[in-house]
Chains A and B, each alone.
Chain A
C-alpha cells in the first residue's frame, strides 16, 4: 500500500524534478540577462512572494479564476442540459455555438473591455466567455447520449422533473461534463493571466508584466514558476474531485473491459 503510494508520487514528480534539475544545471553559468541562473531565480522567490504580495496579487487572481470558472460551469451545464434535451433548440443553437466556440477567447478581451470596463467584472466575464464552450458542448453530448432503456425506466417509474435532472441527466452526463470542465480549467488559467495583462492594477498576470517592464527578470521568472505551481495544484484538486464524482464510471468501465 505505502509502496504503491510512493511509486505513484515518484511517477508524478519524477519528470518535473528532472526538468528542474536540467534547467538548474544548464543555466548555472548563464550570463544572459533574460535567462538568469535558476539558482538566482529561486533565491529571490521568497522575497518576491511575501505574504503581503500573496494577499494583494495572488488572492484576487484566484478569486477571479474561481468566480469565472464556477459561473461558466453553472451556465454551461444549465444551457447544455436544455439544448441537449430538446431537438428543436439544438437545431437552432448548434451552428451558433460552433461559431462562438471557434473564436479564440483572448480576442474577446478588448471587446469585453469596451462594455464591461477594466474591473473584476471584466476579468470574470472574459474567463466565463472562454470556459463556457467546452463545458456547454460536452454537456450537450452527454445529455444526448443518455441510454434509452434507462430513460424509459425513469419514465415508467414516473421519475420526472428535478428528480430526473438530478438522478438521470446530470449523473449520466457527468463523465462528459467532467471532461469539459477539465478543458475549461486550463482555459480559465490562461484567460485569468491574459485579462490581467491587458488592464489591471493587481493580480498574477499584472505582476508578471510589471516585473518584465521594470527589467526585474529573475522576479518575472518566479511569477511564471508560481503560475505553473498554481496550475499544478488546481489540476491535482480537480483530479481528486473527479475521482470521487466518477468513481462509478471508472468501476463500470473496468468491469466492462474485463468481461
Chain B
C-alpha cells in the first residue's frame, strides 16, 4: 500500500522559490491502478519523484507498506516523462532493458526471456540490437516501457508514458498496461494529461488542482473490469465520467486564477 501524507515540495532556486506541490494526501491500495490528472506544471512529475524516492519532500512523507520512503525502494519501476533522456545511448535496446535485471541478479536465461517478452509486448521485437538513437521517439518511449515491464515491479510509476506515440499504438499500449496490471497484480500510478485515457485506464482517477496543488477530487471509475477500446469508450457511463473529470479540471484551472498562479516569490 502506498500512502502520501501531507506532501509539500518547494524548489529553492537562486532567485525563485517555487512551491511545486502544496499539500497532497491520498492512499493507493496494493494492486490498484490509479490515474493522476492535472494541469501542466501542477507538480505531477514532482509528486512522482517524491514517491520514487528520488526527491526529498519539503514536508510530509511517503509510506510504502508502512515504511517511509527515503531512497528508491526495491521493486519499484519508473517510466520517466523525458523518455529520450532516460535510455542509455551507449547500450543497445536489449542491454537497456536487461541492465536493471542484471542488477537484480536475475539469471541469464530468465533475463533473456523477460527482455524478449517485454519487447514483443510493446511491439519492438527485432530492434534488440539497435541503439536508442536509431529509433523514433515513440519507439524510444516503448523501450522505456518495456524496461519497466521486464523488471516485474510491484509498484509501477508512469509519467505521461504515451505522449510520443501515435493514436493506434497508444490504444494498444493502454490495453497492454491493463493486461499487465491484471496479470501481474502490480500497483500502478499513471500520470496523464489525457482525460479519456485516465478514465479508460484507471480504477480510480485522482485530479490535482492547479498550483498551489492539492487533491481536487478522487473519483472511482465504476466501469466493468473488462474494457475494450470500442465499447468502453462508447459507453454512456464512460461519457458521463469523462465529462465529470473534464468539468473538475476546468474548475481547477478557474479556481487558480483568483489564487495568483505560480507561487513564485522573489527573495
Contacts and interface: CB of A to CB of B under 8 A. Distances in A.
Interface of A: 147, 149-150, 152-153, 155-159, 163, 167-168, 171-172, 174, 248-249, 251-252, 255-256
Contacts of B72: 155-158
Given A149-B80, A252-B133, 5 more contacts: A150-B85, A152-B54, A155-B54, A157-B77, A249-B90
Contacts of A248: 89-90, 131, 133
B99 interface: yes
Contacts of A167: 88, 91, 99
A252 B100 contact: no
Given A152-B54, A248-B90, A163 B103 contact: yes
A122 B16 CA distance: 54
B249 interface: no
Nearest to B80: A149
Grouping DSSP codes into helix (H, G, I), strand (E, B) and loop, the A interface class, with mixed when no group exceeds half, is: helix
A107 to B, nearest CB: 39
Interface string B55-94: 0000000000000000110101110101001101111000
Nearest to A254: B133
A237 to B, nearest CB: 22
Contacts of B80: 149, 152-153
A157 B131 contact: no
Contact of B99 (A152, A159, A252, A255): A159
A158 B99 CA distance: 10
Contacts of A174: 90
A6 B215 CA distance: 68
Interface centre among A147, A156, A158 (most CB of B within 10 A): A156
A249 B71 CA distance: 31
Interface in B125-149: 131, 133-134
Contacts of B54: 152, 155-156
Contacts of A168: 88
B62 to A, nearest CB: 14
B52 A156 contact: yes
Contacts of B103: 157-159, 163
A146 to B, nearest CB: 11
12 contacts: A149-B80, A149-B82, A150-B86, A152-B86, A155-B54, A159-B103, A163-B99, A168-B88, A174-B90, A248-B133, A251-B133, A255-B134
Interface string B183-212: 000000000000000000000000000000
A251 B89 CA distance: 9
A158 B85 CA distance: 17
B112 interface: no
A153 B90 contact: no
